[in-house]
């Protein structure tokens, strides 16, 4: 199957999360999603400190990028993320997202990500407000990631209050003339993808909804939900 090019409807990207893929055939499983029509990959990196689990590091992400050629963003659910920026840049990621809750010097970290020539992103946990958290770093943002589950494990249930939070973020970015992408991660499925897109999401991160079961059918269902939302 040939890979789809471009965003869904020219607006929304589907970015499967490697966290839910079969680690025994990680690159192969990722390729299935890309061949089915996903536009990019999302690497959830956990350190066992900011969140309980440990996942993988820059070497694994680099191997997947080299094997798939996919645009990949790294979501660093780690403490002291500033110490890992250079190694993930060397791994070939297109962007790095750090958690505001884990970074004492967010402005400095975002500036460094941009100095490395990468897209700079901030992630917000479910209990972290959009305002005033982001107001003073908006000019440095290429991406804002709204967590719609508490970070740590895949397969969690979507927190519906995230939709209102996304709407607030959309208004803040628009009023600031920001072109930053809005990404959502956690419990994303074909059932809620339409609501998320209508709220303002431009990047859907889906793990279990892509990799559990038939990947091609799962991606098709997600794409169909997005296209239906965009058609309204």
CATH of the domain at 104: 3.20.20.70
Q: What angle do CA 83, 149, 127 make, to 5 degrees?
A: 80
What is 77-110 written as a DSSP string? ESSSGGGTHHHHHHHT-SEEEEEGGG-TTHHHHH
How do residues 119-149 score in pLDDT, each as one tens digit?
999 999 999 999 888 989 999 999 999 999 9
Picking from 147, 139, 140, the residue whose alpha carbon sits closest to that of residue 188 is 147
* pTM of this structure: 0.95
d(CA 202, CA 170): 10
Q: Is residue 220 part of a domain?
A: yes
d(CA 142, CA 120): 5
73 catalytic per annotation:
no
d(CA 218, CA 143): 25
Q: Is residue 197 part of a domain?
A: yes
Q: Is residue 1 part of a domain?
A: no
Residues whose CB falls within 8 Å of the CB of residue 72, separated by 6 or more in sequence, listed in order: 40, 41, 42, 43, 61, 64, 65, 92, 93, 94
3-state secondary structure of 192: coil
CB 143 within 8 A of CB 121: yes
Residues whose CB falls within 8 Å of the CB of residue 127, separated by 6 or more in sequence, listed in order: none
Q: Is residue 4 part of a domain?
A: no
Q: Is residue 114 part of a domain?
A: yes
Give me the domain span that covers residue 48: 13-231
Q: Is residue 6 part of a domain?
A: no
Active-site residue, selected from the candidate residues 44, 73, 103, 142: 44
d(CA 193, CA 162): 12
Active-site residue, selected from the candidate residues 164, 174, 185, 195: 185
Catalogue the long-range contacts made by 128-137 (C-beta closer than 8 Å, 24 or more residues apart).
Answer: 128/100, 128/101, 130/165, 130/168, 130/169, 130/172, 131/168, 131/172, 133/100, 134/100, 134/169, 134/172, 135/172, 136/107, 137/106, 137/107, 137/110
Q: What was the pLDDT predicted at 2?
A: 38
Picking from 204, 137, 209, the residue whose alpha carbon sits closest to that of residue 166 is 204
d(CA 224, CA 204): 13
HSE (CB half, 13 Å, CA atoms) of 87?
12
Going residue by residue through the chain (232 aa), what tens digit of pLDDT does each one get? 334 456 887 889 999 999 999 999 999 999 999 999 999 999 999 999 999 999 999 999 999 999 999 999 999 999 999 999 999 999 999 999 999 999 999 999 999 999 999 999 999 999 999 988 898 999 999 999 999 999 877 777 899 999 999 999 999 999 999 999 999 999 999 999 999 999 999 999 999 999 999 999 999 999 999 999 999 7
Q: Is residue 3 part of a domain?
A: no
- Average predicted confidence (pLDDT) for the chain: 94
59 catalytic per annotation:
no
Our count of domains for the chain comes to 1
């Amino acid at each position: 199957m040939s890979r789809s090019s471009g965003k869904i409807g020219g607006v929304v990207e589907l970015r499967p999360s490697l966290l839910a893929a079969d680690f025994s055939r990680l690159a192969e499983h990722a390729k299935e999603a890309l061949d089915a029509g996903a536009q990019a990959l999302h690497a959830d990196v956990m350190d066992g400190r900011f969140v309980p689990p440990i996942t993988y590091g820059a070497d694994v992400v680099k191997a997947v990028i080299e094997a798939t050629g996919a645009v990949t963003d790294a979501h660093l659910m780690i403490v002291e993320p500033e110490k890992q920026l250079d190694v993930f840049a060397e791994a070939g990621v297109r962007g790095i997202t750090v958690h505001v809750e884990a970074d004492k010097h967010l402005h400095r970290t975002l500036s460094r990500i941009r100095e490395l020539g990468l897209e700079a992103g901030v992630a917000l946990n479910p209990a972290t407000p959009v305002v005033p958290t982001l107001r003073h770093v908006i000019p440095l943002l290429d991406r804002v990631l709204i967590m719609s589950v508490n970070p740590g494990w895949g397969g969690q249930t979507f927190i519906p209050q995230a939709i209102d939070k996304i709407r607030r973020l959309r208004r803040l970015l628009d009023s600031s003339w920001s072109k930053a992408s809005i990404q959502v991660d956690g419990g994303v499925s074909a059932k809620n993808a339409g609501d998320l897109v209508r709220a303002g999401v431009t990047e859907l991160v889906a793990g279990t909804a892509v990799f559990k079961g038939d990947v091609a059918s799962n991606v098709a269902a997600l794409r169909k939900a997005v296209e239906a939302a965009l058609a309204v």
